[in-house]
């Protein structure tokens, strides 16, 4: 009995542009996942609480605003507080290479740069949950 | 089959009120099988308190927006709210894009509101097959009111009438002259009709048309005649009126002892469904049945044995009381 992968795709921050996040959400749906999309302007608190209530396996943050160094750690910290540190966090956006390294050291599973093939994101997620195959 | 989850531990944390445990138990319910039954056994005695309101209507009518506004309203009266928002599973990929939360953002920082998005998965009727079970879990978690948003696609929304105490049908001026709603059977299931997007100019006429078709409805003496209300989720108008009508319908059910009868009816149909599921799983999992069927199919192919005769013979072999064989096979 295979279980479904549940993903939360969230768009934190103030910029009003979520085309990329929507494209990814839709591609993950087409790859057979249940994708919860929460819309624009999400605070870390909203993201973490939604992720917990929805019991997702993984959260993807789409960040263009440059707030990545505060956003990722804050979401992870809140997940932990809510007893959900098992939820994997990944991200996408324009993030400088040295920050990518630091984020990955902090426990962000993966950062995808602009122009990433959505198929790569889907394979990465599926690969992270071998019990769903 | 070994369990993927520590059900006992989850139940303990659930009873302490931990949201993460409640959320994980909903996943267990969605996945079905023995674990789900274990959870339902454990929580059943705590259910039966939450009032269940279903919301249906065409795509984009404003179901999520209205549910969100109503949740806020009920929260101001201190009711604890559970929301189940169902969106369709793609028949092509099996995946789903669950987007109802986009309209519910104002609720996310209130721990008194628990929102769960469900994909319809194998269900054909606008809701998820485990809607009842997820309602039970939210009920046992202490929610006073559960708001259920259906998929709102096609003509198969009628199942919600079996799950909810009050059914709210949400229409918009663009829904046409009410004929679509009638065709879809929505006129039969609605206890309350909402004309949303009343900020649009033609809303009043559309609401009157709905009123007219309700007048034509046969309602028995002392029965409930559906009510119509105009709202604008966008401009936050009419929400108090809608909340008032939901309360009124609830009082009607209570005054006529219909709550208790409805619950009995729901429980009886759940026993029936659970029995059918179990028997089906047993049959599918039975090696003996498989062996006999495959052994006799040549006779069926050759026209010497009718399918019905074969099944009658099997009927004597597969008895209900039999305990052997996997019950969750496949
Ligand atoms: N003008 C106006 N727009 C509204 C109103 N209520 C909702 N909308 C808009 O209508 C669109 C759909 O609203 P939703 O609440 O997502 O509708 P829904 O019925 O839940 O949609 P699905 O779940 O996709 O079937 C959104 O763009 C809303 O902003 C309203 O009262 N007036
Ligand atoms: Mg909706």
- Identify the pLDDT of residue B151: 86
Residue A76 lies in a domain: yes
Could you tell me if B105 lies within 8 Å of chain A, comparing CB atoms?
Answer: yes
Q: For residue A56, give both structure tokens.
A: 């997702």
Q: Is residue A33 part of a domain?
A: yes
A74: Cα within 13 Å, side-chain hemisphere: 14
CATH of residue A110: 3.40.50.280
State mean pLDDT over B81-110.
92
Average pLDDT over residues B309-327: 68
Report whether residue B197 contacts ligand 1, using a CB cutoff of 6 Å.
yes
pLDDT tier at B35, thresholds 50, 70, 90: very high
Taking the Cβ of residue B109 and every Cβ of chain A, the question of whether any pair is shorter than 8 Å is answered with yes
Expressed in angstroms and rounded, the spacing between residue B217 Cα and the centre of ligand 1 is 28
Give phi and psi for A62, each to the nearest 5.
-105, 115
pLDDT score for A20? 86
Q: B93, A36: Cβ pair inside 8 Å?
A: no
Asked which of A115-129, B46-60, B202-216 is least confident by mean pLDDT, the reply is: B202-216
Decide: B217 and B225 in contact? Cβ < 8 Å: yes
pLDDT of residue A19: 85
- Mean of pLDDT values over B227-243: 97
**Pocket lining: B238 vs ligand 1, CB cutoff 6 Å:** no
pLDDT average, residue stretch B111-135: 84
Structural domain contains residue A80: yes
What's residue B80's pLDDT? 96
Query: H/E element holding A110?
Result: strand A110-112
Under 8 Å CB-to-CB from B70, ≥6 apart: which residues? B147, B239, B242, B243, B246
| Residue A9, domain member (yes or no) | no
Kindly determine whether residue B95 and residue A32, on different chains, have CB atoms separated by under 8 Å. yes
Domain extents in chain B: 1-45, 47-256
Residue B266's pLDDT is 85
Per-residue confidence (pLDDT) for residue B124, from 0 to 100: 61
Residue of B26, B27, B96 lying closest to A35 (CB–CB): B96
How does pLDDT run across B188-200, given as a tens digit for each residue? Answer: 889 999 999 999 9
The pLDDT tens digits along chain A (133 residues) read 468 999 999 988 777 778 889 999 999 999 999 999 998 888 999 999 999 999 999 999 998 878 889 999 999 999 999 999 999 999 998 899 999 999 999 999 999 998 899 999 999 999 999 887 6
Q: What is the pLDDT of residues B286-306, one digit of tens each?
A: 888 899 899 999 999 999 999
Q: Per DSSP, what are the bridge partners of residue B98?
A: A36
**Interface residue B97 vs chain A (CB under 8 A):** yes
Contact call for residues B84 and B146 (beta carbons, < 8 A): yes
Per-residue pLDDT reduced to its tens digit, B62-89 = 999 999 999 999 999 999 999 999 999 9
Assess if residue A87 is contained within a domain.
yes
- Pocket perturbation via mutation, ligand 1, pick of B65, B85, B118 by most ligand atoms within 8 A of CB: B65
Range of the domain at A37: 26-124
User: Residue B285: is its pLDDT beyond 60?
Assistant: yes
Q: Which of A61-65, B105-109, B144-148, B176-180 has the lowest mean pLDDT?
A: B176-180
The pLDDT score that the predictor gives to residue B1 is 46
Q: Provide the domain count of chain A.
A: 1
Is A129 within a domain?
A: no
Cβ <8 Å between B93 and A37: no
CB contact under 8 Å between A38 and B27, yes or no, is no
Please give the CATH superfamily to which domain B47-256 belongs. P-loop containing nucleotide triphosphate hydrolases (3.40.50.300)
CB-based contact B126:B159 (threshold 8 Å): yes
Number of neighbours of residue B327 by Cβ within 10 angstroms = 14
Q: Which residue's alpha carbon is at the smallest distance from atom 11 of ligand 1?
A: B60
B59 C-beta closer than 6 A to ligand 1: yes
Q: What is the rounded average pLDDT for all residues in chain B? A: 88
Is any ligand 1 atom within 6 A of the Cβ of residue B234? yes
Identify which of B13, B108, B119 has the shortest CB distance to residue A49. B108
**What per-residue confidence (pLDDT) applies to B162?**
83
pLDDT at B320: 53
Per DSSP, the residues of B18-44 read -HHHHHHHHHHHHH-HHHHHHHHHHHG
Q: What is the mean pLDDT of residues B137-143?
A: 98
Q: Check if B258 contacts A (Cβ < 8 Å).
A: no
Which tokens hold the place of B290?
A: 């498989």
Tell which one of B67, B233, B235, B238 to mutate to probe ligand 1, the residue whose CB is within 8 A of the most ligand atoms.
B233
User: How many CB contacts within 8 angstroms connect chain A with chain B?
Assistant: 94
């Amino acid at each position: 009995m295979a279980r479904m992968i549940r993903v939360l795709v969230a768009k934190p921050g103030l910029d009003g542009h979520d085309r990329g996040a929507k494209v990814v959400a839709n591609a993950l749906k087409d790859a057979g996942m249940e994708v919860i999309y929460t819309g624009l302007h999400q605070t870390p608190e909203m993201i973490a609480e939604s992720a917990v209530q929805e019991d997702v396996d993984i959260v993807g943050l789409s960040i263009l605003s440059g707030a990545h160094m505060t956003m990722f750690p804050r979401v992870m910290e809140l997940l932990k507080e809510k007893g959900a540190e098992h939820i994997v966090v990944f991200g996408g956006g324009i993030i400088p290479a040295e920050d990518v390294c630091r984020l990955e050291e902090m426990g962000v599973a993966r950062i995808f740069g602009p122009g990433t093939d959505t198929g790569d994101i889907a394979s990465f997620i599926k690969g992270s949950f071998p019990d769903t195959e | 089959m070994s369990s993927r989850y520590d059900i006992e531990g989850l139940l303990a944390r659930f009873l302490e009120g931990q949201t993460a445990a409640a959320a994980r138990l909903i996943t267990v319910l969605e996945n079905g099988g023995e674990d789900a039954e274990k959870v339902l056994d454990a929580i059943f005695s705590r259910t039966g308190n939450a009032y269940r309101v279903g919301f249906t209507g065409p795509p984009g009518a404003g179901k999520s927006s209205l549910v969100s506004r109503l949740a806020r309203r009920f929260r101001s009266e201190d009711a604890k709210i559970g929301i189940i928002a169902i969106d369709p599973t793609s028949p092509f990929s099996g995946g789903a894009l669950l987007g109802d939360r986009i309209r519910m953002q104002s609720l996310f920082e209130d721990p008194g509101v628990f929102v769960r998005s469900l994909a319809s998965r194998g269900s054909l009727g606008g809701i998820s097959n485990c809607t009842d079970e997820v309602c039970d879990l939210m009920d046992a978690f202490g929610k006073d009111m559960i708001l259920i948003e259906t998929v709102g696609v096609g003509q198969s929304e009628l199942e919600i009438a079996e799950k909810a105490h009050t059914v709210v049908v949400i229409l918009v001026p663009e829904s046409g002259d009410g004929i679509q709603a009638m065709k879809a059977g929505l006129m039969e299931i609605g206890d309350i009709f909402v004309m949303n997007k009343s900020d649009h100019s033609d809303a009043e006429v559309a609401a009157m048309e709905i009123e007219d078709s309700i007048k034509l409805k046969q309602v028995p003496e002392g029965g409930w005649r559906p009510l119509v209300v105009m709202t604008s989720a966008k401009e936050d108008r009419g929400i108090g009126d809608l909340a008032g009508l939901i309360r009124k319908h609830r009082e009607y059910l209570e005054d006529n002892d219909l709550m208790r009868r409805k619950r009995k009816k729901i429980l009886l149909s759940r026993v029936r469904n659970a029995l059918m599921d179990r028997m089906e799983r047993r049959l599918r999992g039975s090696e003996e049945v498989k062996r006999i069927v495959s052994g006799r199919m040549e006779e069926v192919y050759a026209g010497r044995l009718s399918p019905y005769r074969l099944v009658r013979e099997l009927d004597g072999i597969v008895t209900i009381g039999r305990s052997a064989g996997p019950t969750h096979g496949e």
